[in-house]
């Protein structure tokens, strides 16, 4: 019996000796995502994939053998969320060509490349809105199990709309009646999607939109809806869509009065009932289009080629040869002057605004895009930096129902953490180049250098 006891004790001691040491992030100013005052000289202890303790250099001793990662001179924040990405596209300007030429490469090449690019931009959670069903589920699961690197993914699978555009049937599903809509939602739920994406609800109609929302809610799914046209918004507000996307309305100077009355009423009711009205404006691309034309150098950044084959890279470059002539952006100069007013209307009405970028659309590369949205909010629209940070951390996790695990830096939550050198509350653009990027306790970037070994399949 004594021999067995000694043997077991030896095994336990050996396991303890070989276990991964605790990682300690030491010295930086912690902005935890809750919106309160930052914590100077912070210490964050990480064991495995979760945070175990938070304190300061003066109050929290480091465990013996801990691996110390210095955050001195840095601000430490939760990993960013991007609530509107498109993994199946990578900045190419010609959708008609892309959708056909790359359909069979979405799964093996395009979506994994998008995922790793987002992760190395400090995006540790992302919501993919619109993609082929099997491939969307596969990339989410591959990331979850460590087979491929990327953010924690929440996927919608195919868009639901009145009728799929020709050639897009693999990732757009038509719904022609309330019964058909309910069946499509059930099919998506059975496949394992995290959310439902609806577009063109003005064409889908109120009855069918209501069927989609009701069925989704019955199955525990929320619904994200386009908000480009006035009737889309009206129908969405009537039927209970959970999260509106974009600022839309073409070049209209503001949201119509009747929409604002309905929006304010919905926001007020949501606050009382614990179901806030969420809106993802996706405005940075519009705001920065003029800057891109003046300085297109970002198109030459090698970061967006990571994970893509040489012929894919060449094809994307060729499509962006003359960005000033892209049909996709011809309305942008007329839409941009309306953004200040519409953004202010949404904030005043009480909508909870979320950071989302439409990452992947023409010129919006996954490795570059997310930080631009809070930068525009803060420097272009006078949003307090802390509010913008919460819109990229706390509120997305809250909307997706994962706030117990994500969105803030707290003991027990996933160690999804970024650190930037400097004062991010004064210079929000520091988010474009995190010094450290940690997801689930793994450092994918440390001291400004990508940890290539961490990106290898596990």
In terms of domains, do 232 and 301 share one? yes
Alpha helices in 282-371 (DSSP H): 284-287, 289-294, 310-319, 332-335, 339-349
Is residue 241 a part of any domain in this protein?
yes
Low-confidence ranges of the chain (pLDDT < 50): 1-18
pLDDT at 144: 97
Measuring CA to CA, which residue among 150, 153, 120 is closest to residue 136?
A: 153
Residue 122 DSSP code: T
**pTM for the full model?**
0.94
Measuring CA to CA, which residue among 153, 70, 156, 149 is closest to residue 113?
A: 149
Domain count, the chain: 2
In terms of domains, do 197 and 238 share one? yes
In terms of domains, do 74 and 206 share one? no
Are the beta carbons of 131 and 158 closer than 8 angstroms? yes
In terms of domains, do 206 and 68 share one? no
In terms of domains, do 195 and 88 share one? yes
Listed residues 345, 370, 395: the one ending a domain: 370
Give the CA angle between residues 285, 163, 234 to the nearest 5°: 60
In terms of domains, do 47 and 104 share one? no
In terms of domains, do 314 and 338 share one? yes
In terms of domains, do 207 and 164 share one? yes
pLDDT at 329: 76
Listed residues 318, 341, 370: the one ending a domain: 370
Is residue 206 a part of any domain in this protein?
yes
Is residue 289 a part of any domain in this protein?
yes
Domain harbouring 34, CATH code: 2.30.40.10
User: Which H or E run includes 217?
Assistant: helix 206-218
Is residue 263 a part of any domain in this protein?
yes
Q: Report the helix count and the strand count for the chain, using DSSP H and E.
A: 18, 20
* Boundaries of domain holding 61: 23-78+408-455
Is residue 249 a part of any domain in this protein?
yes
Rounded alpha-carbon distances, angstroms, from residue 137 to 109, 152, 338, 407, 429 = 15, 12, 37, 22, 33
In terms of domains, do 270 and 223 share one? yes
Listed residues 370, 390, 424: the one ending a domain: 370
What is d(CA 243, CA 285) in angstroms, rounded to the nearest whole number?
Answer: 20
In terms of domains, do 340 and 305 share one? yes
Is residue 63 a part of any domain in this protein?
yes
Give the CA angle between residues 277, 154, 105 to the nearest 5°: 135
pLDDT at 249: 65
Sheet holding 67-70, edge to edge: 50-56, 42-47, 23-26, 67-70
In DSSP notation, 325-340 reads: G-GGGTTHHHHGGGHH
**Four-CA torsion 54, 60, 64, 67, nearest 10 degrees:** 40
Is residue 314 a part of any domain in this protein?
yes
Domain harbouring 167, CATH code: 3.20.20.140
In terms of domains, do 51 and 89 share one? no
Is residue 398 a part of any domain in this protein?
no
What is d(CA 233, CA 252) in angstroms, rounded to the nearest whole number?
Answer: 14
Cα of first residue to Cα of last residue in the chain, in angstroms, is 39
For tokens 């509106």, name the residue.
244
pLDDT at 12: 41
Q: What is the mean pLDDT of the chain?
A: 93
In terms of domains, do 147 and 189 share one? yes
């Amino acid at each position: 019996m004594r021999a067995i006891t000694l043997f077991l004790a030896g095994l336990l001691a050996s396991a303890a000796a070989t276990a991964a040491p605790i990682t300690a992030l030491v010295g930086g100013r912690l902005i935890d995502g809750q919106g309160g005052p930052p914590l100077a000289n912070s210490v964050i202890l990480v064991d495995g994939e979760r945070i175990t303790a938070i304190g300061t250099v003066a109050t929290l001793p480091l465990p013996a053998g801990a691996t110390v990662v210095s955050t001195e001179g840095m601000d430490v924040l939760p990993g960013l969320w991007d609530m509107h990405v498109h993994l199946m596209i990578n900045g190419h300007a010609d959708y008609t060509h892309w959708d056909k030429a790359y359909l069979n490469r979405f799964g093996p090449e395009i979506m994994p490349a998008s995922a790793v690019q987002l992760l190395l931009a400090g995006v540790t959670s992302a919501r993919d809105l619109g993609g082929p069903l099997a491939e969307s589920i596969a990339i989410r699961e591959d990331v979850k199990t460590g087979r491929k690197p990327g953010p924690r993914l929440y996927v919608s699978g195919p868009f639901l709309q009145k009728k799929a555009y020709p050639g897009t049937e693999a990732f757009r599903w038509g719904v022609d009646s309330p019964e058909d809509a309910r069946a499509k939602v059930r099919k998506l739920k059975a496949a394992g999607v995290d959310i439902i994406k609806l577009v063109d609800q003005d064409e889908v109609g109120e009855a069918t939109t209501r069927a989609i929302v009701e069925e989704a809610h019955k199955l525990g799914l929320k619904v994200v809806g386009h908000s480009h046209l006035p009737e889309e918004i009206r129908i969405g507000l009537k039927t209970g869509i959970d999260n509106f996307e974009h600022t839309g309305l073409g070049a209209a100077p503001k949201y119509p009065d009747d929409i604002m009355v309905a929006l304010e009423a919905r926001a007020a009711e949501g606050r009382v009932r614990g179901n806030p009205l969420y809106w993802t404006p996706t405005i940075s691309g519009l705001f920065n289009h003029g800057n891109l034309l003046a300085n297109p150098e970002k198109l030459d950044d090698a970061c967006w080629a990571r994970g893509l084959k040489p012929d894919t890279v060449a094809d994307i470059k060729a499509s962006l040869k003359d960005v000033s002539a892209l049909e996709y952006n011809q309305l942008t100069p007329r839409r941009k002057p309306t953004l200040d007013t519409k953004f202010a209307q949404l904030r005043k009405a009480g909508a909870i605004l979320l950071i989302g970028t439409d990452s992947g659309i023409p010129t919006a590369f996954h490795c570059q895009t997310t930080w631009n949205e809070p930068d525009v909010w803060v420097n272009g629209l006078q949003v307090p930096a802390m509010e913008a940070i919460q819109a990229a951390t706390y509120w997305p996790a809250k909307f997706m129902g994962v706030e117990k695990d994500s969105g803030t830096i707290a003991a027990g939550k996933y160690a999804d953490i970024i650190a930037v050198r400097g004062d991010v509350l004064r210079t929000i653009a520091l988010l474009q180049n995190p010094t450290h990027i940690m997801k689930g306790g793994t450092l994918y970037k440390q001291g400004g250098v990508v940890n290539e070994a961490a990106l290898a399949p596990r």
